[in-house]
Chain A
């Protein structure tokens, strides 16, 4: 298993540009999510999905879109990049079954700089 993969590893954008961060998992996990990590703030949830075709907002969704057309893929789109979106982005996935608590697996991260 490759686990959770993310591309690209690094990206520099100019203000106003758009781009898509890719995330894929090969563990057949129902739940996938995107976090951003900023110094001194831990990880904050941007968007999540509990299955193909179902997405919902997390704590900091503004400026980001997601879709989940397949179980494996969960791309994150930045619509019009702003310097405040400079961050490290992590994709994660886990199983989801009522009554059970499962480990969340994280990708290696994408370091994004917006100038």
Chain B
């Protein structure tokens, strides 16, 4: 069985300050991990993914995440927040590879960016 815990349901930062969205996972397999972003009334868009290559993963729009096996974490960071980053972010774990692998979603973290 696998699970994902997003440690904060809501994070508020000022524009220009760093962003940290926290995610812990549990998996019986060597996991693949993803971060998706959802802007209001939109579908989900992939930010980045980890698939057992480099542990520091760079994504779109300046986001990156570091896979830490010893801490079972995959936190999402960005050095400087922009107003357009305001959205909901989902951490996702995959239970394997191939056609039948299933994704398990965290409950989401809503990022608010203030002036």
Contact = CB atoms under 8 A, between A and B. Distances in A.
Q: Do A and B bind each other?
A: yes
Interface of A: 4, 30-31, 35, 40-45, 48, 50-51, 58, 90, 92, 96-101, 103-104, 106-109
Interface stretch (B13-21, B44-52, B66-74): B44-52
Interface in B33-59: 34, 36, 41-46, 49, 51
Contacts of A58: 102
User: What's the dominant secondary structure at chain B's contact region?
Assistant: loop
Given A43-B90, A90-B43, A104-B46, A98 B99 contact: yes
A47 to B, nearest CB: 12
Interface of B: 9, 32, 34, 36, 41-46, 49, 51, 90, 94, 97-103, 105-108
A96 B36 CA distance: 19
A101 B51 contact: yes
A29 B44 CA distance: 17
Contacts of B108: 40, 42
A43 B91 CA distance: 11
Contact of B99 (A31, A35, A44): A31
Contacts of A98: 97-99
A101 B31 CA distance: 10
Given A40-B107, A41-B107, A42-B105, A99 B46 contact: no
Most buried by A among B94, B99, B101: B99
A45 B103 contact: yes
9 contacts: A40-B9, A42-B90, A45-B102, A50-B100, A51-B99, A100-B97, A101-B94, A101-B97, A106-B45
Given A40-B9, A40-B107, A101-B49, A108 B42 contact: yes
A97 B99 contact: yes
